[in-house]
Amino acid sequence: MAKPKIENTFNSPLFSLGLFRKLILIMSKNIFVTKSMDVLMKEASHEGEHSLKRTLGKTNLVMLGVGAIIGAGIFVLTGAAASQHAGPAVVISFIVAGIACAFAGLCYSEFASMIPIAGSAYTYAYATLGEFIAWIIGWDLILEYLFGASTVAVGWSGYVTSFLKDFGITIPESLSSAPIAYDTATHVYTATGALINLPAMFIIGIMTWLLVVGIRESANFNNVIVIVKVIVIMLFVIFGWQYIHTDNWHPFIPENTGVFGEFGWSGIVRAAGIIFFAYVGFDAVSTAAQEAKNPQKDMPWGILGSLVICTIIYILVGLVMTGIVSYRELNTPAPIAVAVNAAGNGLNWLRPLIKTGAIAGLSSVILVMLMGQPRIFYSMSRDGLLPASFSRVHKKYKTPYITTIITGAVAMVVAGLFPIGLLGELVSIGTLLAFVIVCGGILVLRYSKPDLVRPFKTPFFPVVPILGILSSLGLMYFLPGDTWIRLIVWMAIGIMIYFGYSKKHSKYGQEAK
């Protein structure tokens, strides 16, 4: 019996001209359609009733970046990273995490200068990798911005509750805690008996109202808060330096215990993954590109400038903190406060200021996170992937008020019900995935459209974007398996929404048919 000719099957009309092949071609044509640079530039230059107002200068953008970065990471996570993983070498961990973010930051800067339009990584992906990938990253960024705001709001609640307690004002734990507890080590959920976290919901409500009123007012408020928290941190560095005992820095890199991630160089890498959350938010600067006065020149300054400033601040704080007190004593939600207490009566005056700085710092992070998400929704709606109401701009304030209110309302619910550990893991993996796609987008665009005008070019191409992809994937690898499962479930929901609604209403997908 002659052997069947398998190649004839693939050459048959069923595959060459059949419905299956046509379906694949139609799907690939529609879902991977890219948004042309000409269209993007027209949108960026458009002014009118439904356009955002260009009011942000270079200083505002840098301050937005600093406002987003200096928050929960420096005031909360630093101590755990030092005490459990890196010791005094947490300083090196800050540098490692900062370098990983810098790779992504350089790629963000090239995109932001070239495509000065609201939407951040979503818009960049639409221009390079196609509509479906753009939808995936837009859906993913909800984890970073919306859940990020909720995460920081939970931390804000803890500091405010403690601060008020110092003045004899006690908020019942049942009204200042999540009803669910989550153990990040065992990944076990338990009921706390609490009802809801009202302070966390309160701060999100206030920041949402401020963002609806106007971007200029929000930026000015953020500038004041950033100045306050930077002053407080620098006071800690300057006056705390004289209380440093250099013996606390020896050994600078504690010997590994035999377990990966517990001190030694593996501990430094593990700590870098943990304090990566300290850098989450710098990319929120890019979501304000359409509200920048001179985005081609100022966006790279805002992104990279805020990264450099915050890395320097983190290094100084890490040195002083581990110099004043042994790293073994820093496994606490308020490590800077522990260091101030260890300095004795000489720094008593600084204690209330530290809490004030922490509250101010966390407030500005919430503000910037809540600012970023509505502008991504705004861009997705303009492209037809979300209902038209999502791109509606307030006639008086010129802000995307509907999406701002929706984002704030959902963030309030999430902050009121869920614990910080669970939310923090979701934010980290969502941000890292965004970094991977942005760095990949730079690779694609440099080769596919080399002649495009690039006011800022990522240096050392293609080394920087490749290292950005690898470093982000590396940090994702060390996140818990449960976090990956939640990401997959979240993405599955997003894909169903895309094929159920967005693909059918896509402005550019319909044109590609």
Cis peptide leading into residue 465 (ω within 30°): no
- Residues 72/152, Cβ–Cβ less than 8 Å: yes
Within the chain, what is the greatest distance between any pair of CA atoms? 96
pLDDT of residue 511: 57
Q: How far is CA 447 from CA 104, 131, 462, in A?
A: 18, 19, 10
**Three-state SS sequence of 293-359:** CCHHHHHHHHHHHHHHHHHHHHHHHHHHHHHHCCHHHCCCCCHHHHHHHHCHHHHHHHHHHHHHHHH
- Residues 93/74, Cβ–Cβ less than 8 Å: no
Q: Name the nearest CA neighbour of 414 among 140, 237, 172, 152.
A: 152
Query: Which run of H or E residues covers position 190?
Result: strand 188-191
Q: Name the nearest CA neighbour of 141 among 118, 174, 159.
A: 118
**Distance between CA 428 and CA 77 in Å, rounded?**
13
pLDDT of residue 20: 43
Q: What is the pLDDT along the chain (513 residues), one digit of tens a residue?
A: 444 333 333 344 443 444 444 444 445 556 778 777 677 666 655 554 445 555 667 777 788 778 777 876 777 778 878 888 889 999 999 888 888 888 988 888 888 777 766 546 787 788 778 899 889 988 988 887 888 888 888 888 887 887 888 788 888 988 988 888 776 556 677 888 888 999 999 999 999 998 888 666 666 777 788 888 888 888 999 999 999 999 999 899 999 888 877 889 888 888 887 777 677 766 667 666 566 677 777 778 888 888 888 889 889 999 999 999 999 888 766 688 788 888 888 888 888 888 888 888 788 788 878 887 888 888 889 889 999 888 888 888 778 889 999 999 999 999 999 887 677 777 778 888 888 888 998 998 898 888 878 888 888 999 999 999 998 888 788 777 788 888 899 999 999 999 899 988 888 766 555
> How many Å from the N-terminal Cα to the C-terminal Cα in the chain?
46
- Residues 204/145, Cβ–Cβ less than 8 Å: no
Q: Name the nearest CA neighbour of 79 among 341, 312, 302, 298.
A: 341
Query: Which run of H or E residues covers position 260?
Result: none
**Distance between CA 202 and CA 171 in Å, rounded?**
13
Per the structure block, which two tokens stand in for 457?
A: 């070019």
CA atoms within 13 A on the CB side of 129: 21
Q: List the Cα angle 6/8/11 in 5-degree steps.
A: 125
pLDDT of residue 97: 85
Q: Helix (H, G, I), strand (E, B), or coil: what is residue 180?
A: strand
Q: Name the nearest CA neighbour of 263 among 253, 273, 248.
A: 253
Query: Which run of H or E residues covers position 194?
Result: none
Q: Name the nearest CA neighbour of 374 among 98, 142, 109.
A: 142
Domains, the chain, ordered by start = 52-511 (1.20.1740.10)
User: If you ran DSSP here, which 8-state letter would residue 183 be given?
Assistant: E
**Distance between CA 55 and CA 64 in Å, rounded?**
13
User: If you ran DSSP here, which 8-state letter would residue 256 be given?
Assistant: P
- Which value, to the nearest 10 degrees, does the dihedral of the CA atoms of residues 271, 275, 276, 278 take? -170
pLDDT of residue 206: 92
Residue where the block lists tokens 């930026």: 219
Length of the chain in residues, anyone? 513
Characterise 164 by phi-psi region: left (phi > 0), alpha (psi -120 to 50), beta (else): alpha
